[in-house]
Every structure is written in structure tokens, then in C-alpha cells.
Structure 1
Amino acid sequence: MTEFSIRSYTSRDAPWVLAAHARHYREVDGFDESFATLVETILRDFDAGHDPEREAGWIAVDGAGAPVACMFCVALDADTAKLRMFLVTDAARGRGLGYRLLQTCMGFARERGYKGMRLWTHESHVAACALYRRNGWSLVSCRSVRSFGQALVEQEWQIRF
């Protein structure tokens, strides 16, 4: 079985994060290029001005050092962190890596003094939503939208520490 390790994100990881998100969401959810544009903007903003004391990203790598997953924690406001750009590639799914990344991100947010976290996703991301629920997150809103070329149901989740 492949061992995975989690390391800090650096700007050198941005091309992988962008390509992995664009490929996965195009192939799995049929998202159009506007999704890749959003991810590119998020990454550019993070690389240009994140506060390393309160914001971080993580990359999970396989035994050969190849990236297989990522997650980011950014400030939403003084008391609330936002989970962003959570992705586990198909090759790494089902091995507890999403759980490890989520625990890393939530632990970081707690240690930095946030009182809670929020995230935005779509109900079609069934495995991720189940992971959030199992780890104490609550669904706070849902709404039907047309985004990224698809009819979707957006969801917002939160957890209080």
C-alpha cells in the first residue's frame, strides 16, 4: 500500500493544484473553464498575499513525492477560517487521506485561534460532504444555481470549535 505524507504548500505547487482541479472537475462534474479560472484566481491571491501566521495550504504526496491531494485554510474574518480547494485524486481516494488533510486543516485553524470554519461545496460531492458531517461540520445552507456550466446545488458548511 502506498504511504502518503503531508507537507506545506509552496507556490511551486500552484501548477499542479490548478491542473488537478481543472482536470478532475471537468472529467467528473463536467465543469467548464470558468472553474479553472476561479481556482487560478484563488491560487494567485493566496500566493500574492496570504498571512502565513493565519493561512496555510497542504499538499499530500505519495512515496515517490508526486502530489495526490491538497487543502487550504484561509481567513474568512477574524474569527472564522475558510476551507478551500480540497481535492484528493482518484488514485489516492479511499485511504484516509481526506480525513488526514481535514484534521490537519482544522488543527491549524484551532491553533491559530479561529473559533470556527466554513466551506462552500456542491451536494454532488457526496464523499466530501459525508466526511464533513462525520467530523462535526453542519450544513447551514443549500441553493440551486447554475455554475461552471452545470445545474448544481451549492452548499455551505460550518463547524464551531
Structure 2
Amino acid sequence: MTVQDIRAFNRFYTNVIGALDYGRHLYAPYTLTESRVLYELAHAPRTDAADLRAELSLDAGYLSRILNKFEQDGLVERAPSEKDPRRRRISLTPRGRDAADLLDERARETVGSLLGSVAPGDRARLADAMRSIRDILGDGHAPGAGEVVLREPGPGDLGWIVQRNAALYAAEYGWNTDYEGLVARIVADFAQDHDPHLERVWIAELNQRPVGCVMCVRDDTPATARLRLLLVEPEARGLGLGDRLVEAVIDFARGVGYRELVLWTNDVLGAARRIYQRHGFVLVAEKPHRSFGKDLVGQDWHLHLRGSGE
């Protein structure tokens, strides 16, 4: 492959995209970036502005202008975060959700029309080619969530949990080896003494290799389980894998009779916090601390497991 091959493909694909959005029907009356902001707000209700800016890699001033426009048009509401007044919480109004739903419907119809022009026998080959491009170029989107398998840990998987937690948190947040030591102790405690009926580890596997994990262990409080060490590899993010792992813990904890599920995290882990919020966890306490070489704000989240013997 040469540079010219890639440039030729880029010209071809941008022509396809342009044809899909001929006359700006797909995004009208919004720009592509504005439509993306609406999409993120629709899929992550009550998002902080700082989290939204980081998720979309947008300039703060540019995002602020978009949100000002949305607020003037009655699409969003902005308010101080209930837990941190320094942050601004953004949520869609009913009118904003209608606008996001309309954009989503247009996108589905447009892509459906494109697929309608592809011979049925070629559609699987097209999907495979798209997945191959995403996987090889490493854009953070691995193949579809349907190909991810949640399984019990096998030989070497517990060591993988320690290694990947240490490496990812060092790379993404600058945490030092104190965090690796904490994870190693958590994993060692589970390996040496756990009740298989009440405690469990899940490994998310994609293309026969691990890309995520989570643990459910007993807490010191009676009838309470603790969610620990939720992790999703960068190339597997965007597939809803974090939600699947948290759902697995909730279903397991409820099924074996726990009445409450708790977890401890830090406020810098915005993506994880949004997952917990989507599944009904409530922030009950915050406390600044110095750990892993950083000044952090620790957070305790609780979820009441309705239906557990009530």
C-alpha cells in the first residue's frame, strides 16, 4: 500500500459521505459538530461540560458557543452540578431530545438507503472490510459489541487485570506504582480466598484476547457487594462494553441476594462515573485525598438492589 492508495480511498469515501448528506438534509439545521454534541447529550444525560469537552476533544470556547446556541433554542439546560458547584451540568430538554431523536432517525434512514444499494451477498464483505480498517488503524473502535464475550477468568487473566490497570492508569492519568500495588492486593485477596457463590470476576474478550474486566466481591457491610476494578481497553471503548460489565455485576449481585451494591472511584474518571449514573448508582460521599502520586477526590457510590428478597 502507498500514500496514494490511502489518499484515493479518502477521496472516494468523502464523496460517499457527501452524497449521503446532499443538501445538508441529514444534519440540518445543525452543523456536524453540533449534531455530535446532541448525540453525546442524548446518550449521556446530565453530562458535565468538562466531561463533554474531553469526550469530543473540543476547544472550550467553541463548545461554550454551541451550548449557548442550544440554550437559546431551548434544547439544553445548564445548572451547577449537585455534587460539585464548580462544574456545570448539561442536560437535554424535551425539545432537545426530540431534535436528537430526529437526527438519529435521519441517520438510520440514510445509512439504510446506502445499504439498500449494496447487493445482499456483498454486505457481510463490506462490514468485514470496515471492521478491518478500524481495527488496523486503531481508532478506538473494535468490532461490534456482539462479538465481545464476557467469561470467567482463566490462567493468567488475574495477572492481566493487575498489569493493564497499572499500565492504563499510568498512561491516561499519570498514576504511580502505588495504584498497581492496590490492584495487586485486591486481586490477590480474591485469588486466595473468595466465595464462588457470592463473588465473581468477569473478563471481556474480543477476538480471543481480553479487553475489559470487572469484579464483584463481598463488602464489610452485611448483604452488601462491592464493584471493583472496572476497566475497558481503549480500542474497545465506544461499544457499550462498560455498561455490559456493570450490568453483569448488578444482575449477579441481585441474583445471589445482595441488597446493596457499592463502589469507590475518583472524580477524574468521568466515563466510568457516567456509566454508574446510567445504572442508577447515587453519589453519597466525596473526600479529597492524596493517592497514586496525585491530588484526587474520592467518591462513594451506592445502588439499592430492588427486588433482592423484598
TM-score (norm 2): 0.51
Match of 2:183 among 17, 20, 39: 39
Match of 2:214 among 66, 71, 77: 71
Runs of 4+ in 1 over 6 A off after TM superposition: none
Q: State the SS of the aligned residue for 1:91.
A: helix
Pairing of 1:86-105 with structure 2 (within 5 A): 86-105=230-249
In structure 1, give the amino acid aligned to 2:263. Answer: L
Is the helix fraction higher in 1 or 2? 2
Q: How many residues align?
A: 160
Match of 1:52 in 2: 196
Q: State the SS of the aligned residue for 2:238.
A: coil
Is structure 2 residue 123 aligned with structure 1 residue 123? no
- Tell me the distance in 1 between the aligned counterparts of 2:156 and 2:176: 25
Deviation track 1:78-119 (CA, whole Å, cap 9, x = no partner) reads: 310000011001111110101111111110000110001000
Contact 1:9/1:56 (8 A) holds in 2: no
Match of 1:133 in 2: 277
Structure with more relative contact order (C-alpha pairs < 8 Å, separation 6 or more): 1
In structure 1, give the amino acid aligned to 2:290. Answer: R
Match of 2:256 in 1: 112
Deviation at 1:11, TM superposition (A): 5.1
Q: State the SS of the aligned residue for 2:163.
A: helix
- In structure 2, list runs of 5 or more residues that go unmatched: 1-130, 132-142, 306-310
Larger radius of gyration: 2
Deviation at 1:9, TM superposition (A): 2.1
Deviation at 1:143, TM superposition (A): 1.0
Moved more, 74-83 or 10-19: 10-19
Moved more, 119-128 or 7-16: 7-16
Contact 1:142/1:156 (8 A) holds in 2: yes
- Tell me the distance in 1 between the aligned counterparts of 2:186 and 2:271: 23
- Tell me the distance in 2 between the aligned counterparts of 1:69 and 1:78: 28
- Tell me the distance in 2 between the aligned counterparts of 1:133 and 1:26: 25
- In structure 1, list runs of 5 or more residues that go unmatched: none
Q: State the SS of the aligned residue for 1:43.
A: helix
Deviation at 1:134, TM superposition (A): 1.1
Pairing of 1:80-91 with structure 2 (within 5 A): 80-91=224-235
- Tell me the distance in 1 between the aligned counterparts of 2:230 and 2:297: 18
Q: 1:135 to 1:24 in 2, by over 3 A?
A: same
Is the strand fraction higher in 1 or 2? 1
Aligned sequence identity (%): 38
Is structure 2 residue 310 aligned with structure 1 residue 155? no
In structure 1, give the amino acid aligned to 2:277. Answer: R
- Tell me the distance in 1 between the aligned counterparts of 2:298 and 2:155: 29
Deviation track 1:31-70 (CA, whole Å, cap 9, x = no partner) reads: 110100111111111000010000000000102x100000
In structure 2, give the amino acid aligned to 1:59. Answer: I
Match of 2:288 among 112, 135, 144: 144
In structure 2, give the amino acid aligned to 1:157. Answer: W
In structure 1, give the amino acid aligned to 2:152. Answer: S
Over aligned residue pairs, what C-alpha RMSD do you find? 1.0
